[in-house]
Amino acid sequence: MKITMTLYAAALAILAVSSAQSATFVDHVNVRFSTPVVVGTTTMPAGDCAIQVVRGSSDNVFLTFRSASGVSASVLVNRSNEMDNDTQLTGDQARVVLNRRGNDYRFDRIVMPDRSGFEVLPNVE
């Protein structure tokens, strides 16, 4: 009986892990920064960068940035469906919005072609 319970528990754990993995959705956006950009606490160098939107089985959404040089950073973001009414957004292109603070450019948000988007959570200090 104890062995049977252990086997059922193991099977249930495997199913839970596989369903959690299937509930994760990932989108990719490739950008080219003409200047270094601060993402969270990491400075991404100028050049090509891949942004990965990771939506987990929970309500948390992360953006993971990976530069061509190997530097990477992740930030926790909020979802928004009314991000931008800017007419510069055309076709199937996403738009990255940066804020300038002093001499640094900081990643603020990304607007997807469907006008939905993700914005960095405010830094509470």
Every domain of the chain and the residues it spans: 24-120
Residue 76 to residue 80: CA distance in whole angstroms: 13
- Each residue's pLDDT tens digit, 42-92: 999 999 999 998 887 777 889 999 999 999 999 999 887 655 555 455 567
Look up residue 33 and give its amino acid. F
Instruction: Kindly report the backbone phi and psi dihedral angles of residue 68, in degrees, each rounded to the nearest multiple of 5, phi listed first.
Output: -65, -25
Residue 35 to residues 22, 29, 101, 111, 120: CA-CA distances in angstroms?
36, 18, 14, 20, 19
What pLDDT is stored for residue 123 in this prediction? 66
- Each residue's pLDDT tens digit, 2-58: 443 433 443 334 434 444 444 445 588 899 999 999 999 999 999 999 999 888 777
DSSP annotation of 122 reads: P
